[in-house]
Structure 1
Amino acid sequence: MFDLVTQGFKDATLKLKGQARLTDENISPALDAIKRSLLDADVDLKVTKQFLENIRQKALDEVVTLKAKSGLKVSAGDHFTKTCHDELVEFLGGNQTEIIKNTKGPTVILLVGLQGAGKTTHAAKLAKLLAERHKMRPLLVAADVYRPAARDQLKILGDKINVPVFTLDTNDAVEIAQKGIEFARSEWLDLVIIDTAGRLAIDNNLMTELESVRSAVQPQNILLVIDSMIGQDAVRTASAFDMRLNLTGVILTKLDGDTRGGAALSVKKVTGKSILFAGTGESLDKLEEFRPEGMAGRILGMGDVVGLMDDFTKAIDMDHAEKSANRMMEGHFDFNDFLEMIGTIGKMGPIKDVLAKTPLASQISENDMNKVNDKDISRKGSIVQSMTKKERENPDLLLIQKSQSARSRMARIAKGSAHSEKEVKDLVEQFMQMRQMMQMMSGLGLGGGMMSKIPGLSQLNQMAKMAKVAKMMGGGGGMPGMPGGMGALGNMFGGGSMPAMPGGMGGGGAMSAADLAELNRMKKRKKEEKLKKQKKR
């Protein structure tokens, strides 16, 4: 949803490329690029001006050091990016905040908002998230007494997530809310989420009823559920609700939609209320705790590894994932692992969102990102599922090396999966490239860390290290046998080749025995040099 804003920051960074230090002259074009993107994204004008002025002052006041203590060279553009990141974090809410918990009884959350914002659905999403993450025991209270079938909808959602739903056969929302809290106490439940009525627009009757509910139940949290797709109207709505109810936070919905992002970027600064949760999809598990730092990283194209791991832990059993990752990093990678990998990524959400959270995000152009196709996941899966058990476990059976057997196997797989033989051949080639990448990382000892636990994504966290190896092998010449950047992964989802990685990691084709031997010699030489240095000390 932040494509416009992200592109603005990319353009700003390009304008500072090659600059040794930041000056008022060279920073102005960069800020202009950001300004255009923020206004196009429907960010409030006053907020935009203040944001840019803060960046200007902090960037110009900062002393630019071209070489860090670690020896790593940095640029004026790097300092500018860091300044933008810090300001964005503050812009989006600063330190991460949580719901206010009641120490003397059930924690009460009152959900308010306009009709159609998604209050009922997000009441269930919030109950599921807090039950799973914070081990709370929730009760849903259906206090929307006006919308037809609102109570039935909440009961259905409650059944899906195995959370009790309380309501009464009355149109008195205050009574329903009060009796709901009494029921929670009697059942030793420690969380009450009250779904209230909405209107198509803010009116006095709506606010009066909500004020009556608030006075009767004294909730610790009053959260406004607001649709991010309505732009600056979302901010005005938040201000109106806050004036009458004194909100404690915001739940922003439809962050996965094709929105311009202005509401998310403005709501904190305009209302002073933090975004606590963000809806990222239609299913009941698509709600996440809003992390300003993670969102700032995504906007700047720096990724959000914490958020990525959060998505991953929802999608798969961690013990199983660790065993799978260990197998892969030991060089064992077959079509069964490949099928598991694309299945896991599919569960983590739209592939564009997954890639946006990786450290490679800034290197993927908007054009390449738009080519990424989620439907390709199921297509690739159907091809693998048409293979025999023997073929999945031994992918080399499908290598065409003047082998009539391999050709007949591919023809059979193509027919069984309703794909062309070329599509099957392309998939096998992509798989072989990925297997070589896995073996390369295994040989270089690049496993480990959080990212290594994600089947098929462990290589993303190690690209920087691999770039160093590429430089040792001659810099711009490219790493022999490696797909162009993330070509294999990009092609797998229909996006074409991803951009080349730092250090000239271009190239293509199968890695020859000579290339592997040269790599082994290089590793041995580096090891010997390291031992010599240690002896001299």
Structure 2
Amino acid sequence: MFDLVTQGFKDASLKLKGQTRLTDENISPALDAIKRSLLDADVDLKVTKQFLENVRGKALDEVVQLKAKSGQKVSAGDHFIKTCHDELVDFLGGNQTEIIKNTKGPTVILLVGLQGAGKTTHAAKLAKLLAERHKMRPLLVAADVYRPAARDQLKILGDKINVPVFSLDTNDAVEIAEKGIEFARSEWLDLVIIDTAGRLAIDNNLMTELESIKAKVNPQNILLVIDSMIGQDAVRTASSFDQRLNLSGVILTKLDGDTRGGAALSVKKVTGKNILFVGTGESLEKLEEFRPDGMAGRILGMGDVVGLMDDFGKAIDVEKAEKSANRMMEGHFDFNDFLEMIGTIGKMGPIKDIIAKTPLAGQISEKDMDKVKDKDLTRKGAIVQSMTVQERETPDLLLIQKSQSARGRIARIAKGSAHSEKEVKDLVDQFMQMRQMMQMMSGMGLGGGGILSKIPGLGQLNQMANMAKMAKMMGGGGMPGGGMGGLANMFGGGGSPSMPGGMGGGLSSADLAEINRMKKRKKEEKLKKQKKR
């Protein structure tokens, strides 16, 4: 969603490459690149000017320390990007804010906005989010009495998330809102979300009704639901609602679409109101608490690790993840695990969004990012699903191209999945490289509090990885499936005897030994289960 802005900051950083200090002369071209990208992204002109002035002042006022305390060198460009990051966080709202909770009685959230902004859907999304994250007990109140089927829609959504919906057979929205809060008190519910009517444009009748509801129920939170794809009109709409209702925050929707990001960057500075939540998809779990520092990191290509782990937490089954981690620790990693990984990634959202939240995002070119396609995951899944149970559990059966049996298997899988044999071979190759990487994860942040160590059970894999490394250093046979040869192949190095495209003919002794070990483990597991029975 912020592609234009992100590219502008990348261009600015390149213009400062090699500079040892920031001056008025060398900072101007960098600021010009940012200015163009902000305006192209539909950021308000006054906001753009203020942002650039603040960055210029802070970047030039501070002395760039070329060496940090850790001894790592810090370039002038790094200092400039850090200044931009801090300023972006401030423009996006500074510290993360939350809804205002009522200490006496249920917390009331009044959702307002134009027709078509997604108030009804986001009422359900918000109820689901606050119930799961903050353990609140919500009630949805259907106070949109004008749009046909609005109340029925809210009831259907409420049933999906197991949240009660209050409605009355009347067209008096004020009475519905008031009685809804009374019902919440009687049922000991601590959160009331009121869905109100909208209009195609702001008019006096709409505002008068909303003011009447506000006066009667005295909500702690009045949140404007606004479509980010309408650009600067979103900011003007927010200002108009704020003048009449005194908003407490904004829910920005459709940030997963083709929006250029201007509204998100402008709304706080123009209205003074924080973005509290962002809608990132159509399904009911696609609502996030807005984090200014995370969004600033994504805009600058620095990633949003906290947001990434949040997405991961929503997508995985913790119990399954624990079992999978234990299996990997014992040396198991087959196509069933691979298929489960694909499924998890698919649940986390568009692959580009996932990559944008990783710290590596800034190192990936726009050209390479364009090559990333969500349908590739579906295609890989189709190939694996065309394998037999034996092939999924024993991937080595598909390794050697010169083996008549393997060739036949690959041809059958290709035909069954409607893919070419080369695509099947490529997937097998990628799988084997991934299996080898599982034993080297400690060097990529698995241990020592890295990203992956946050995943239940996976922190234990660090011990296995270290043991594998020690065995390799001592010349003790290394890792199954070709060891470092396959890893070098993944980064453009030579082939591996046990990998497709390598030198081998039939199954190597290492392959046979690994298959035998897997069979032996399976027999032992079966015996253990039988004894328990």
TM range (shorter): 0.7 to 0.9
Instruction: Summarize deviations over 1:275-320 as a string: whole Å, max 9, x none.
Output: 0000000000000000000000000001111000100111112343
C-alpha separation between the residues in 1 aligned to 2:19 and 2:329?
Answer: 40
Residue in 2 that maps onto 1:528: none
C-alpha separation between the residues in 2 aligned to 1:223 and 1:412?
Answer: 56
C-alpha separation between the residues in 2 aligned to 1:332 and 1:454?
Answer: 21
Rate the CA distance shift 1:340–1:10 in 2: closer, same or farther, 3 A: same
Structure 2 matches for 1:368-379, cutoff 5 A?
Answer: 368-379=368-379
Rate the CA distance shift 1:483–1:227 in 2: closer, same or farther, 3 A: farther
Residue in 2 that maps onto 1:126: 126
Residue in 1 that maps onto 2:413: 413
Residue in 2 that maps onto 1:305: 305
Residue in 2 that maps onto 1:165: 165
Instruction: Summarize deviations over 1:68-116 as a string: whole Å, max 9, x none.
Output: 1211111111111111111110010000000000000000000000000
**Contact 1:321/1:454 (CA < 8 Å) preserved in 2?**
no
C-alpha separation between the residues in 1 aligned to 2:306 and 2:445?
Answer: 23
Rate the CA distance shift 1:158–1:52 in 2: closer, same or farther, 3 A: same
**Contact 2:445/2:453 (CA < 8 Å) preserved in 1?**
no
Residue in 1 that maps onto 2:96: 96
Residue in 1 that maps onto 2:138: 138
C-alpha separation between the residues in 2 aligned to 1:313 and 1:441?
Answer: 20
Residue in 1 that maps onto 2:63: 63
Rate the CA distance shift 1:180–1:106 in 2: closer, same or farther, 3 A: same
C-alpha separation between the residues in 2 aligned to 1:445 and 1:239?
Answer: 45
**Contact 2:92/2:264 (CA < 8 Å) preserved in 1?**
yes
Rate the CA distance shift 1:440–1:83 in 2: closer, same or farther, 3 A: same
**Contact 1:277/1:290 (CA < 8 Å) preserved in 2?**
yes
State the Cα distance separating 1:452 from its structure 2 match: 1.6
What SS does the aligned partner of 2:202 have? coil
C-alpha separation between the residues in 1 aligned to 2:445 and 2:49?
Answer: 48
Q: Does 1:247 align with 2:247?
A: yes
Residue in 2 that maps onto 1:426: 426
Rate the CA distance shift 1:99–1:415 in 2: closer, same or farther, 3 A: same
Residue in 2 that maps onto 1:178: 178
**Contact 1:95/1:292 (CA < 8 Å) preserved in 2?**
yes
C-alpha separation between the residues in 1 aligned to 2:353 and 2:437?
Answer: 23
Structure 2 matches for 1:446-525, cutoff 5 A?
Answer: 446-447=446-447, 449=449, 451-452=451-452, 481-482=486-487, 506-511=491-496
State the Cα distance separating 1:416 from its structure 2 match: 1.9
What SS does the aligned partner of 2:432 have? helix
Instruction: Summarize deviations over 1:99-142 as a string: whole Å, max 9, x none.
Output: 00000000000000000000000000000000000000000000
Q: State the Cα RMSD in Å.
A: 2.3
Q: Does 1:276 align with 2:276?
A: yes
State the Cα distance separating 1:420 from its structure 2 match: 1.7
Structure 2 matches for 1:222-241, cutoff 5 A?
Answer: 222-241=222-241
What SS does the aligned partner of 1:225 have? strand
**Contact 2:445/2:452 (CA < 8 Å) preserved in 1?**
no
- State TM-score, norm by structure 1: 0.85
C-alpha separation between the residues in 2 aligned to 1:327 and 1:190?
Answer: 42
Amino acid at match of 1:406: A
Amino acid at match of 1:92: L
**Contact 2:42/2:263 (CA < 8 Å) preserved in 1?**
yes
State the Cα distance separating 1:448 from its structure 2 match: 5.7
**Contact 2:432/2:486 (CA < 8 Å) preserved in 1?**
no
What SS does the aligned partner of 2:219 have? coil
Amino acid at match of 1:63: V
Identity of aligned residues (%): 87
Q: Does 1:387 align with 2:372?
A: no
**Contact 1:224/1:238 (CA < 8 Å) preserved in 2?**
yes
**Contact 2:114/2:200 (CA < 8 Å) preserved in 1?**
yes
What SS does the aligned partner of 1:83 have? helix
**Contact 1:331/1:442 (CA < 8 Å) preserved in 2?**
no
Amino acid at match of 1:167: S
Residue in 2 that maps onto 1:530: none
What SS does the aligned partner of 1:370 have? helix
Amino acid at match of 1:507: G
C-alpha separation between the residues in 2 aligned to 1:200 and 1:243?
Answer: 18
C-alpha separation between the residues in 2 aligned to 1:57 and 1:205?
Answer: 46
Instruction: Summarize deviations over 1:446-474 as a string: whole Å, max 9, x none.
Output: 5463522588xx99xx9xxxxxx9xxxxx
What SS does the aligned partner of 1:276 have? strand
C-alpha separation between the residues in 2 aligned to 1:445 and 1:7?
Answer: 27
Rate the CA distance shift 1:384–1:26 in 2: closer, same or farther, 3 A: same
Residue in 2 that maps onto 1:474: none
Amino acid at match of 2:66: L
Amino acid at match of 1:386: S
What SS does the aligned partner of 1:108 have? strand
State the Cα distance separating 1:442 from its structure 2 match: 5.4
C-alpha separation between the residues in 1 aligned to 2:373 and 2:426?
Answer: 16
How many residue pairs match? The answer is 477
Runs of 5+ unmatched residues, structure 1: 463-468, 470-478, 488-505, 514-537
State the Cα distance separating 1:438 from its structure 2 match: 2.2
State the Cα distance separating 1:507 from its structure 2 match: 2.3
Instruction: Summarize deviations over 1:313-347 as a string: whole Å, max 9, x none.
Output: 11112343244345446653221111111110000
Residue in 2 that maps onto 1:288: 288
Residue in 1 that maps onto 2:321: 321
Rate the CA distance shift 1:445–1:98 in 2: closer, same or farther, 3 A: closer
**Contact 1:143/1:177 (CA < 8 Å) preserved in 2?**
yes
Rate the CA distance shift 1:483–1:140 in 2: closer, same or farther, 3 A: farther
Q: Does 1:107 align with 2:107?
A: yes
C-alpha separation between the residues in 2 aligned to 1:162 and 1:102?
Answer: 23
What SS does the aligned partner of 1:283 have? coil
State the Cα distance separating 1:483 from its structure 2 match: 6.4
- State TM-score, norm by structure 2: 0.86
C-alpha separation between the residues in 2 aligned to 1:439 and 1:509?
Answer: 20
